[in-house]
Amino acid sequence: MSSVTDVAPVAATRTPEGAPRRPRKPRSGALLGVAAWLIGFLFVVPVLWMVLTSFHSEEAAATNPPSLLAPLTFAGYREFFGVGTGTSPWPSLLNSLTASVVSTVIVLLLAIPAAYALSIKPVRKWTDVMFFFLSTRMLPIVAGLLPIYLFAQWSGLLDNIWLLIVLYTAMNLPIAVWMMRSFLAEVPVEILEAASMDGAGLLLTLRQVVAPIVLPGIAATSLICFIFSWNELLLARTLTGTVAGTAPVYLTGFVTSQGLFLAQVCAASFVVSLPVLVAGFAAQDKLVQGLSLGAVK
Amino acid sequence: MHRHVRPALAAATATALAVGVGGCAGWGGGPSGGGPDTINVLMVNNPQMVDLQQLTAEHFTAETGITVNYTVLPENDVRDKISQEFSSQAGQYDVATLSNFEIPIYARSEWIAPLDEYVAADAEFDQDDVLGPLTASLSGDDGRLYGEPFYGESSFLMYREDVLDAAGVEMPANPTWQEVADIAAEVDGIEPGMAGICLRGQPGWGQVFAPLTTVVNTFGGTWFTEDWEPQVDSEEFRTAVQFYVDLVREHGEVGAPQAGFTECLNNVVQGNAAMWYDATSAAGSLEAADSPVKGKMGYVAAPVVETDSSGWLYAWSWSIQQASAKKDAAWEFISWASSAEYEQLVGEELGWSKVPAGKRASTYDNPDYLAEASAFAEPTLAAIEAADPNDAGVQPRPAPGIQFIGIPEFPDLATQVSQDVSSAIAGRTTVDEALQRGQQLAEDVAERYRERESK
């Protein structure tokens, strides 16, 4: 434990001086690295556990204490993909994809102009407008569930994916407007002025000047909207039935009060989280830029 | 400028996907319900239903031309969704799995369709083969039939015959709870990690209070008297709960406050409990081909104190929504799924231990079934036939039901009380405190009924 005592004085001497940040000494840097890895590992353990369990048999998954080294099997995945059970996860996965992608695209189409009108060319009382957007999130969704259900029943939209698309759009729009506003606010006014001095029109400015700066922000916003829509359960469970059920609803269907289901649910959870993971990795570099862009403010 | 390439690509892909997805029909949009030969079924995810799903296309749709779309959800979710769907008569689902708890209540509200005419016109279905207590408990106050059982169960005591034999302990055919407690003390820890008995302790009206209410019944207690006086803090109720809590604390399984049906099943299968008082349907899993305890179990009637029998009665059953426009197709599905022919099919295709049993007398005459289920078939049938929802304890009750009281408020009431009982099993509160609170909750419910009846 000698290493710990080494670190403390280093940290203690640095802070009171308030000196400009210098590169850390390699040793404490390595320690911080180890700590970061440890903490990161702790956060990933449940996910790894889920993945491992998904490759176990139901009996091995249910033992207590857990049997880590149980033989691996694809039974959980076979079950999820409906081999020999007369079910298929594809309709629900496609429903989720439709709902998430379409609602995200609509959200972006609406949120970006709105955010533009709240930051670069702010409308009058734009703070009130911002607050209005936020206020639509103050009512918990569950409080609106019954009216929405009755409306859906009355309008014949129960079990229709377009209803979910509209609701997910409404659900994510305020967040997207808030996020996009903070990204657009990052665009320095001087650049816009310079562009207009050089004779660039609105469209050209948007395309050549604003877009490159806020693209990471758009990536971050769309990923957030995509994740929220993809993972949404409450509305989907209430408003869909046999046709428009989404992946989270299908996922919960593996839970049973009689019999074993852990391995199946883990396999299903892993498959259902894959698209979000893939989207996250694909947008990773943009995302870090985008998220830190907002965080500085 | 390579930095926008990727988002641009992503956006293009997203648009392409959206267009592609929107272009294909087959899922998502459009009116639900499909054609005239398609029915929608909302059901609980129990293993028997999963088997049904597997057999439907080949053996029902191929013969009748009726396509069945299933929505499968866990028990609590399916109850929520069914009550939402049926109370609003949304008509999305033609058939749903309801139990003998909901069916009389739903029938009173006219949310489900009576089945008598269909039964009368369908000689092949043979309603007389369905066990009497089930037919009675699936009928409404008006005497009409509103549900057909998919599988039925009672409760009984399961025990490790080999363990008791080795310990020189004999299990009586009709044990009392005191005898069971003595045996539990004797065999507790007889093998490493083996508890004397496994009893549910998990909160929930359908978890701890299913076995516990049957214990209360046979100890002479009741939730309510016939004229709606709550009896939760009565001497009999208290003695029964104290007995149950003491038994599970002293000789019960590890983690009892969280243990439900599934946990106890795992415990028994893994050799962590010598006895288990629970649903008769558990025996099928214990005697399954891959079960380590297959052939080692014995089965006797539910333990009693003051009553002659104390087993519960429960049946996941099919009902047709009143708003369904496809009642004929719905009945055709039900008459197949609840038939003796379907049991034969499951036996031949998937194995006789998977048969959704406990509903038809003919099942217990079937030599194929008996060859597989001889260990528990007779005790199961005896338990179901002895169950009488209209005479569950020592006193008259205001509503039918054995392990429940057949009123809509019961799940909420019993679930709240079960939280405290589960805490008592964990040692965080006492039985007296738990039941005092329970009495107040029961009084709130009882008051409403007393007012209603005095009007």
Q: At B48, which CATH number?
A: 3.40.190.10
B18: pLDDT strictly greater than 80: no
Distance from CA of B123 to the nearest CA of A (A): 30
Q: Is residue B97 part of a domain?
A: yes
Cβ-nearest to B10 among A84, A237, A283: A283
pLDDT tens track for B406-452 = 999 999 999 999 999 999 999 999 999 999 999 999 999 999 999 98
Q: What pLDDT is attached to residue B68? A: 95
Contact list in B for residue A147 (CB cut-off 8 A) is none
Distance from CA of A187 to the nearest CA of B (A): 17
Q: What pLDDT is attached to residue A188? A: 86
Model confidence band, residue A207 (pLDDT cutoffs 50, 70, 90): confident
B191 and B302, same structural domain?
A: yes
Tokens representing residue B189 in the block: 């820890």
Say which range, B3-12, B17-26, B88-97, B257-266, has the weakest mean pLDDT.
B17-26
Contact list in A for residue B73 (CB cut-off 8 A) is 237, 249, 252-253
Q: Is residue B401 part of a domain?
A: yes
Tokens representing residue B399 in the block: 């509503």
B93 and B49, same structural domain?
A: yes
Determine how β-strand B314-320 pairs with β-strand B148-153: antiparallel
- Residue B14 forms contact with A (CB below 8 Å): yes
Say which range, A125-139, B10-24, B137-151, B407-421, has the weakest mean pLDDT.
B10-24
Tokens representing residue A155 in the block: 């309008």
Q: What pLDDT is attached to residue B34? A: 59
CA B57 to each of CA B67, B338, B342: distance values in angstroms, whole numbers, following the listed order: 7, 16, 13
**Cβ(B379)–Cβ(B357) under 8 Å?**
no
Model confidence band, residue A65 (pLDDT cutoffs 50, 70, 90): confident
Q: What pLDDT is attached to residue A238? A: 92
B245 and B300, same structural domain?
A: yes
Q: Is residue B21 part of a domain?
A: no
B300 and B277, same structural domain?
A: yes
Q: What pLDDT is attached to residue A59? A: 79
- Name the nearest CA neighbour of B71 among B60, B61, B80: B80
Q: Tell me which chain A residue has its CA closest to the CA of residue B1.
A: A212
Q: What pLDDT is attached to residue B14? A: 44
Contact list in A for residue B90 (CB cut-off 8 A) is 153, 158
Average pLDDT over residues B372-393: 93
B355: pLDDT strictly greater than 60: yes
Q: What pLDDT is attached to residue A9? A: 41
pLDDT tens track for B240-287 = 999 999 999 999 999 999 999 988 998 999 999 999 999 999 998 899
A209: pLDDT strictly greater than 70: yes
Say which range, A197-206, B102-111, B363-372, B428-437, has the weakest mean pLDDT.
A197-206
Complex ipTM value: 0.74
Average pLDDT over residues B380-393: 94
Indicate yes or no: CB of B262 within 8 angstroms of CB of A84: no
CA triplet B269, B275, B276: central angle to 5 degrees?
A: 75
B294: pLDDT strictly greater than 70: yes
Indicate yes or no: CB of A283 within 8 angstroms of CB of B7: yes
Model confidence band, residue B233 (pLDDT cutoffs 50, 70, 90): very high
The reported pTM is 0.82
**Cβ(B300)–Cβ(B175) under 8 Å?**
yes
B400: pLDDT strictly greater than 50: yes
* B-contacting residues in A 238-297 (Cβ below 8 Å): 238, 241-245, 249, 252-260, 282-283, 286
The letter for the amino acid at A193 is E
B322 and B226, same structural domain?
A: no
Q: How far apart are CA B45 and CA B67, in angstroms?
A: 19
B244 and B289, same structural domain?
A: yes
B402 and B294, same structural domain?
A: yes
B93 and B76, same structural domain?
A: yes
Domains, in order of start, for chain A: 2-80 (no CATH), 90-296 (1.10.3720.10)
B15: pLDDT strictly greater than 70: no
Burial A32-68 (b: 16+ CB within 10 A, else e): eeeeeeeeeeeeeeeeeebeebbbbbbbbbbeeeeee
A192: pLDDT strictly greater than 60: yes
CA A249 to each of CA A89, A237, A254, A269, B250: distance values in angstroms, whole numbers, following the listed order: 11, 6, 9, 11, 41
Total domains present in chain B: 2
Contact list in A for residue B260 (CB cut-off 8 A) is 257
Model confidence band, residue B224 (pLDDT cutoffs 50, 70, 90): very high
Cβ-nearest to B92 among A64, A159, A237: A159
Q: What pLDDT is attached to residue A23? A: 56
* B122-128 CB contacts, 8 Å cutoff, 24+ apart: B122/B331, B122/B335, B124/B335, B124/B339, B125/B335, B125/B338, B125/B339, B126/B340
Q: Report the percentage of chain B scoring pLDDT > 70.
A: 92
A257: pLDDT strictly greater than 90: no
Provide the residue range defining the domain that includes B399. Answer: 155-312+387-454
Tokens representing residue B179 in the block: 């005898």
Last residue of a domain, one of B380, B404, B435: B380
Q: What pLDDT is attached to residue A20? A: 52
Indicate yes or no: CB of A101 within 8 angstroms of CB of B21: yes
- Give the best residue of B45, B281, B354 to mutate against chain A (max A CB count within 10 A): B45
Indicate yes or no: CB of A253 within 8 angstroms of CB of B45: yes
Last residue of a domain, one of B361, B380, B399: B380
- Give the best residue of B72, B82, B200, B293 to mutate against chain A (max A CB count within 10 A): B72
Distance from CA of A188 to the nearest CA of B (A): 19
Q: Is residue B54 part of a domain?
A: yes
SS3 at position A70: coil
B295 and B242, same structural domain?
A: yes
The letter for the amino acid at A114 is A
* A-contacting residues in B 39-98 (Cβ below 8 Å): 40, 42, 44-47, 50, 53-57, 69-75, 77, 81, 84, 88, 90, 92-93
Model confidence band, residue A255 (pLDDT cutoffs 50, 70, 90): confident
> What percent of the residues of chain B are helix, what percent strand, and what percent coil, each to the nearest 5?
50, 15, 35
Q: Tell me which chain A residue has its CA closest to the CA of residue B255.
A: A64
Model confidence band, residue A21 (pLDDT cutoffs 50, 70, 90): low
Q: What pLDDT is attached to residue B30? A: 41
Whole-angstrom distance between the N-terminal and C-terminal Cα of chain B? 81
Q: What pLDDT is attached to residue A291? A: 64
Q: Tell me which chain B residue has its CA closest to the CA of residue A216.
A: B7
Q: How far apart are CA A159 and CA B52, in angstroms?
A: 23
The alpha-helical segments, DSSP class H, found in chain A are 2-17, 26-54, 58-62, 75-80, 90-116, 126-135, 141-155, 161-184, 189-197, 202-205, 211-231, 234-239, 247-252, 262-282, 284-296
- Mean pLDDT over the full length of chain B: 91
Q: How far apart are CA B16 and CA B7, in angstroms?
A: 14
Higher pLDDT, B446 or A256: B446
Contact list in B for residue A244 (CB cut-off 8 A) is 27-29, 32
* A-contacting residues in B 300-319 (Cβ below 8 Å): none
B386: pLDDT strictly greater than 60: yes
A292: pLDDT strictly greater than 90: no
- Name the nearest CA neighbour of A59 among B47, B290, B191, B48: B290
